[in-house]
Structure 1
């Protein structure tokens, strides 16, 4: 990921928090079948390894897992808030007009080689943890145990799990840090007037104390 120094985010807890907040990650790799990309919910185990370990599963019918099983490196992309930046939000536009549109965004890239597994008990633990995470806070949270065990066993046979120790972790917080304080304030104010909740999310990232 191209990442000028002004936008680089190296704080591990901040990177992990963004990874957890991204509901769906994009797992990519290149192998015998060419480029592959799968959209998957993942679990992060921050205590495992230098940068943490990611856990997830593919449908067994998805050929992507075979590339990971053969040792292909995976790139996992976690996308955060993003927003178009209107040039008129920069105060300097009125001074000299030398401004252009851009896009602000937050992204985390994780790389590593995965261990693929299909042991039923290990898969059961994985899908239980995934379900518990996303059912938190619901009035009547669903649990794997709510479904008949023979049905769950059949579902487990239809998936393949993986554990991906992160070997390299990159974060990019492109939040107008390369602009003057006045321009940054103008962008933040412009985003705050938008009707898009995602624009408001990005504005909050630019002004975390507000």
Structure 2
């Protein structure tokens, strides 16, 4: 790496370190280097046009975190891609990972709700629940109406989580239900890494990245 590029990256690391929680400056530098490796080119300031596209990001979710649900992976991408330009910049990458890997319960509740709110109207509707849960079941070809099981599950979930009984989940409904029963955090699909995946990914990024 040239001295000029090194200076640019050091300045970027210093800036991001002040803006992102849960990672220290050394870890941010490792994440920037890892991002370089994923792009195959040096990371540059976030207003640049380079970044992770949807396909490359989905490959990371599959390889490192075992995610396979197309809808959920697309929603995770949109949650990382805060400016909705179709690319995850280095800053968006590190900000997203800070919650994805090390977020507080408050941060994870907000993150999961955003993932599950498919149309961005600040509610998780019955239709959205159905869309996310229908892939959880393996379909029996002899079953006349396989969607009935999913509808039953949606009804059960609403009874558990819909506190104001309006047939949809507001953020307040979701938050209260998750705080009472943490297992409901990922009620509509796996959108956070498990402990083993988190540790493996962090070990790879923070301990195994070669110097550049």
Higher relative contact order (CA 8 A, sep 6+): 1
**What's the TM-score once normalised by structure 2's chain length?**
0.28
**What's the TM-score once normalised by structure 1's chain length?**
0.28
The structure where helix makes up a greater share of residues is 2
